[in-house]
Amino acid sequence: MEASSSTKGFFQTKPVIPPQFPEDKALQRIISLHLPSPTPKSISDDLLRFSRLVLSKQILGYIADAERNTPYVKSHTSFGVENKEDPLVTSEGWRELQNTGIREGIVALAYEGSKDQWNHRIHQYVKYHLWSGSSAIVTCPSAMTDGAAKLLGRHLNDENREIFAKARSKLISREKGVAWTSGQWMTERKGGSDVRGTETVATKVIGKDETDGLDADGEPLGPWKINGFKWFSSATDANMTVLLAKTGKDGEISAFYAPLRRRVNGSANGETELNGIRIQRMKNKLGTKPLPTAELELKGMRGYLIGKEGQGVKEISTVLNITRMQNIVSSVGAWGRGLAISRAFARVRSSGGRLLCDIPAHVRGLAQEHVKYWAHMHLSYFIAALLGRSEGFPPSNDSSAASSLMLPQNIEDINALYRILTPIAKAQTALASINGLRACMESLGGVGYLENEDPELNVARIFRDTNVLAIWEGTTDIMADDLVRAIKGRGGDTALSCLKAWIENALVVGDKTGFQDETSRLRFAAEQVLSDLATKDKEELKWKGKDYLRDLDFLVCSCLLILDASRDGNDVVREITLRWIHTGNSTQHWREQSVWDKIIVFGEATQSKL
C-alpha cells in the first residue's frame, strides 16, 4: 500500500475525540430509557468525569505502554533456578489500567448500594461501555471477577462459607492492595469449548495433609489437590481462579475455587509462590496482546470444591451468564469508540476541498453503521436490564423502561427472556461490532489501517482486540447450539411462549404509534421463525442455528427500537427504526435521506451545498 506523499491540507486540525458521554446519542438514549429521568446527578457527573478520564493523556499512555511491553515469562533466575515466585512479568501500563478499573468500580458497582433503588447493572455497564475502548482488555479479568463474585455469593451458606465470603469481599472491593481479580479456567487441549473433554483431575486430601499450608493471605489451602493442564487461561496474573476438574471414580465434572499463590513453606518473611501452577508459555494472539494468556500446568494445586461434586457445569454457568453479558457490552463499547473516532476524523479531514462530514456518500456510510449500532445498543442494555431485574434490582419507577411495556414484570418472564436472548446477543453483537469496526477503519483511509502512535486514533488496535469477542465464552456456533438448548430443553416451551408474547406486545404498541407497515412485516417474519423453533426437531434447528440467531436478532432489535420510538415520538429514533426494519430502503429523495444521514451521525441537520 502506497501512502500519500503529503498530508498537507488533509486536516484543518488534529482529530479530537469528544467524550462519548454525552456525545454518543445512542448511549444517551439508553441512559434515559433504563435509569431514572432525569438522570441522578451523581450518575451523570460520574459518567461525564469517567468519559473524560478514559481519553486522558495518562490513560492513553498506559494503553501505549501495555501494547509495547507485552507480558512474558521469566522462567528461571540468573542462576538457572526455576522461578516459582514471580515468573510472570506484566507492564506498568497494564497494572495501572487494572487499578483504574478497580478504583472506578467496573465490578464493584453491581454490588454496591441498596437494591430498592435503580438497576445498578445499568450504571455498571455504561461505565464498562466507556471503558472498553481504553482498557487494553483489563475488562477480561473484570468480567471473570464479576462472574466469580456472583458464583461465590451463591455459596455463602456452604461448608466453606468463610473462605468464600472473604474471597468475594475482595472481588467486589475498590481498594488498591485489597481488591482481587479472578481467572476462569475451563479450556483444555482436548475439549476446547466442550468441557466434557476436561482431563484435569481433583482428588480430596485425607488426613494430615488436608490443611497443610496457607495461601498468600494466611488462609488454609483447600482440601482438594488438582492436577492437569489448562490450555487457554487468561488473567494469569489474577489472585484466584474458578476452574473445572474431574472428581470421583466416574470422572464427574466439578467446580473449584483456588487461590493462585501460597506461602512458601518454612519462609520467615511471608514469601509466596504460585499455588502448584507452572506457566508453560504465553499465547501469541492476534489481539488482546497486553492480556496475559497462558498455558498452565497444574501439579498439586490446592483448592475448595464449589457446590456439589458433579455439578461443575451448572456452577460455571453462573460465571458464564455474567462473562457473556460483559462480552456483549464490550462489543458495543468498542464499536462505539470506533464510531466516535470516525466522527471526529470526518469533522477535520478534507477531500476534494470539502470536509468528509460534508460529503454525502461518506456520511451515508457512517449513518448505516450508526443505525446498526443503535439497534444493538438497545439489545445489549435490554439484556443488561433483564440481568439486573433477575438479581433483584427494581426498574426505577421514574424510568421509561418501567413505565413502558418494555420490561416484563413477572420474574419468570424476565428469567426466560434473559436465558433465550443472551446467546443471541452474545453472538450477534460480536459479529456486528467486528464488521462495524472494520468499516470505521475504512472510514479513516490509510490512517485507520495504521497501528497509530496516537492511541486515541488507533482503530486497528480496537479491531484486533474485538475479534476475540466472537470466540471467547463460546463461538457463534456454540451460541447457536445454546439457543437450541434454551428452546428445546427444560422450560423451553415456556421461554418460547414468553418471547412470542413479548414480541406481540411490542408490535401492538407499534400498531398504535404509526408503525403499522413495519409491524405487518415483523409479524410475518416472527410467525415464520417462531413456528420453526416450536415445530422443527433439535438437529435441524442446530443445523440452521446461525440463521435463527440472525433472524431473532433482527426481530428483537426491531421491537426494541419501536418501543423506544413510541415512548416519546422522537423523530431521529423513528428514522433509525424505519431504516433498521427496512434494511436501509427508503422512498425518500436521496437529498432528503442525506440530511437525515447527517442528523443520525452528527446530531445536526445543517449541511454544506451539495
Rounded Cα gap, residues 128 and 333, in angstroms: 7
pLDDT at 114 over 60: yes
Q: How far apart are CA 358 and CA 364, in angstroms?
A: 11
Looking at the DSSP assignment, which residues form a beta bridge with residue 502? none
Nearest to 288 by CA among 234, 342, 238, 232: 234
The 8 Å CB, 24+ separation contacts for 88-92 are 88/236, 88/237, 88/279, 88/292, 88/294, 90/237, 90/290, 90/292, 91/65, 91/66, 91/290, 92/62, 92/65
Q: How far lies 262's CA from each of 41, 60, 292, 302, in Å?
A: 44, 35, 20, 9
User: What are the pLDDT digits (tens) for 269-294?
Assistant: 779 999 999 999 999 999 999 999 99
The per-residue pLDDT for 5 is 38
The secondary structure of 65-78 as a DSSP string is HHHHS--EE--B-T
In the chain, what percentage of residues exceed pLDDT 70?
94
**20 domain residue, yes or no:** no
Domain membership flag for residue 565: yes
Does an H or E element contain 493, and which?
helix 492-512
Distance CA 373, CA 165 (A): 39
Residue 346 has pLDDT above 50, yes or no: yes
- Nearest by Cα to 467 from 317, 223, 286, 298: 286
Whether residue 526 lies inside any domain: the answer is yes
Q: What is the pLDDT confidence band of residue 397, given thresholds at 50, 70 and 90?
A: low
Q: Which residues span the domain enclosing 504? A: 478-569
Residue 509 placed within a domain: yes
Which residues are bridge partners to 202 per DSSP? Answer: 226
User: Of 119, 217, 473, whose CA–CA distance to 322 is shortest?
Assistant: 473
In a domain, 152, yes or no: no
Query: What average pLDDT does this structure show over 517-536?
Result: 97
Q: Is residue 493 part of a domain?
A: yes
- Please state the separation of Cα 479 from the chain's center in Å: 15
Least confident segment among 394-398, 425-429, 514-518, 526-530: 394-398
What pLDDT is stored for residue 117 in this prediction? 73
Which CATH number goes with the domain that contains 299? 2.40.110.20
The reply to whether 110 falls in a domain is no
Residue 240, pLDDT score: 98
Question: What is the mean pLDDT of the segment spanning 96-115?
Answer: 94
- Residue 204 three-state SS: strand
- Predicted local distance difference test score (pLDDT) of residue 606: 44
pLDDT by residue (tens digit) across 173-197? 999 999 999 999 988 887 666 777 7
**What mean pLDDT do residues 296-311 have?**
97
* HEC string for 430-446: HHHHHHHHHHHHHHCCH
- Residues 561-592 pLDDT 10s: 999 999 999 999 999 999 999 998 888 999 99
Mean pLDDT (whole number) for 237-251 = 95
pLDDT digits (tens, 9 = 90+) for 13-66: 888 999 998 899 999 999 999 998 889 999 999 999 999 999 999 999 999 999
Is 392 inside a domain boundary?
A: no
What average pLDDT does range 72-83 have in this prediction?
85
Domain count, the chain: 2
**CA–CA distance, 31 with 377 (Å, rounded to integer):** 11
Higher pLDDT, residue 453 or 15:
15
